């Protein structure tokens, strides 16, 4: 009876694993990608693979033939010789020729990767624990891209959300990178804090984002679509929650997006000059907190003991508002608390501070206006 139950359990587990495998894309090779560089890398990979296959066939074929042909049961007698000039010449020259034949296409691909000439536009990518900042240097657009709010909520401890029902779980963002197809785009990568790595497999490359240093790479996407990636450098607690989404659009749709982003930025600047109600600030603050603060301080404001302080009942949050503003804007040296002055707008900082001071049981009643944050920057 016990054996029957065990067999049934193994069968059920195998069925579940097979069902899971069937629902995923089954791939044994590299991603071919959607850029010229990714195609060159894939072709190079396939060339080297078949060279290795040919070498393996020749070497192992000769070895197995020798074992079979000269086996003891057939009365084979081992040859007795000291050296062979031909053999030494062959096993020196042949590998050199093979390596040179592989080095030529590899060098061409490496040179093509570093050819940044005639770029049509430049995007600066800055890694931040744990999100990405994008600056479109030609169009004057700048924004922060974070894990999508619904994904961020679902991945919280005890969220009670079934993540298997969330499409592209942990690979969706609130603000994707939008680029035009058919344009050579120069990417500059750097970081604010620790080393990150910007990686979108379909582009055919990844580049480290290093504080105080700028790496550069390029891509030209010829096919509209959505291409996803992640941070590929272990960068801290939420390294696994730094997705990248690149949306390639045709030129007219891209220009419409640029115009929309510029209008959003203009509206944000204008909104900083008016007085906001407490309800408006609380609603906006909840959104900012979910994307910029909840990863460390948790959605309930309880923090993580020994790592990130709680905001609920915090002396800083319930103390003078000036200290709270300073901490959010300038961070705290020697801790994971980042300076958000360069990452969030006046409205966003005012909203999140108002939210923190009136949530998690703090109830200070304080309302911080964007004008106060604007004045604090001077």
Residue 24 has pLDDT above 90, yes or no: no
Neighbours of 133 (CB within 10 A): 19
Q: What are the chain's domains?
A: 36-72+84-113 (no CATH), 121-269 (2.60.40.420), 274-376 (1.10.760.10)
Residue 13 has pLDDT above 80, yes or no: no
Q: How confident is the model at residue 121 (pLDDT cuts 50, 70, 90)?
A: very high
pLDDT of residue 19: 41
Q: Which residue has the higher pLDDT, 19 or 258?
A: 258
pLDDT of residue 245: 98
pLDDT of residue 15: 42
Residue 295 has pLDDT above 90, yes or no: no
Task: Kindly report the average pLDDT of the chain as a whole number.
Answer: 88
Residue 134 has pLDDT above 60, yes or no: yes
Q: What's the rounded mean pLDDT across residues 104-126?
A: 94
Q: Is the separation of the CB atoms in 224 and 249 below 8 Å?
A: yes
Residue 23 has pLDDT above 60, yes or no: no
Q: Is the separation of the CB atoms in 209 and 132 below 8 Å?
A: no
Q: What's the rounded mean pLDDT across residues 98-118?
A: 92
| H helix intervals, the chain | 2-23, 36-69, 85-113, 149-154, 251-271, 278-292, 294-297, 315-318, 321-330, 346-357, 370-376
Q: How confident is the model at residue 18 (pLDDT cuts 50, 70, 90)?
A: very low
CA angle 228, 233, 238 (to 5 degrees): 80
Residues 52-103 pLDDT 10s:
999 999 999 999 999 998 888 888 888 787 788 888 898 899 999 999 999 9
pLDDT of residue 75: 84
Q: What's the rounded mean pLDDT across residues 23-27?
A: 55
Mean pLDDT highest for which of 25-39, 99-113, 244-258? 244-258
pLDDT of residue 219: 96
Mean pLDDT highest for which of 152-156, 174-178, 300-304, 337-341? 174-178
Residue 106 has pLDDT above 90, yes or no: yes
Residue 358 has pLDDT above 80, yes or no: yes
Tell me what percent of the residues of the chain surpass a pLDDT of 90.
Answer: 65
């Amino acid at each position: 009876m016990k054996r029957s139950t065990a067999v049934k359990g193994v069968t059920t587990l195998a069925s579940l694993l097979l069902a899971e495998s069937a629902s995923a894309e089954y791939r044994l090779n590299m991603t071919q990608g959607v850029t010229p560089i990714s195609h060159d890398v894939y072709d190079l990979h396939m060339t080297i693979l078949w060279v290795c296959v040919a070498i393996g066939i020749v070497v192992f074929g000769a070895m197995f033939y020798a074992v079979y042909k000269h086996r003891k049961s057939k009365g084979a007698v081992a040859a007795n010789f000291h050296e062979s000039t031909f053999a030494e010449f062959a096993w020196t020259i042949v590998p050199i020729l093979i390596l040179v034949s592989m080095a030529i296409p590899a060098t061409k691909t490496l040179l093509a990767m570093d050819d940044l000439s005639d770029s049509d536009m430049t995007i600066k990518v800055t890694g931040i624990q744990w999100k990405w900042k994008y600056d479109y240097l030609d169009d004057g657009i700048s924004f922060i891209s974070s894990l999508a709010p619904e994904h961020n909520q679902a991945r919280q401890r005890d969220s009670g959300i079934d993540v298997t029902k969330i499409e592209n779980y942990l690979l969706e963002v609130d603000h994707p990178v939008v680029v035009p197809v058919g344009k050579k785009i120069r990417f500059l990568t750097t970081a604010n804090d620790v080393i990150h790595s910007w990686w979108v497999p379909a582009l055919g490359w990844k580049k480290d984002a290093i504080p105080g240093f700028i790496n550069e790479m390029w891509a030209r996407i010829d096919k509209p679509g959505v291409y996803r990636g992640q941070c590929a450098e272990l960068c801290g607690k939420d390294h696994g929650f730094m997705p990248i989404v690149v949306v390639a659009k045709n030129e007219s749709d891209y220009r419409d997006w640029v115009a929309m982003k510029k209008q959003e930025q203009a509206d944000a600047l204008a909104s900083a000059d008016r007085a906001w109600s407490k309800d408006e600030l609380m609603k906006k603050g909840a959104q900012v907190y979910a994307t910029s603060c909840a990863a460390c301080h948790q959605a309930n404001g309880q923090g993580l003991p020994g790592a990130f302080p709680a905001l609920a009942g915090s002396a800083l949050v319930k103390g003078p508002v000036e200290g709270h503003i300073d901490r959010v804007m300038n961070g705290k040296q020697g801790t994971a608390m980042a300076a958000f002055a360069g990452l969030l707008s006046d409205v966003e900082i005012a909203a999140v501070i108002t939210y923190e001071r009136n949530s998690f049981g703090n109830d200070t009643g304080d309302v911080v206006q964007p004008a106060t944050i604007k004045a604090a920057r001077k």
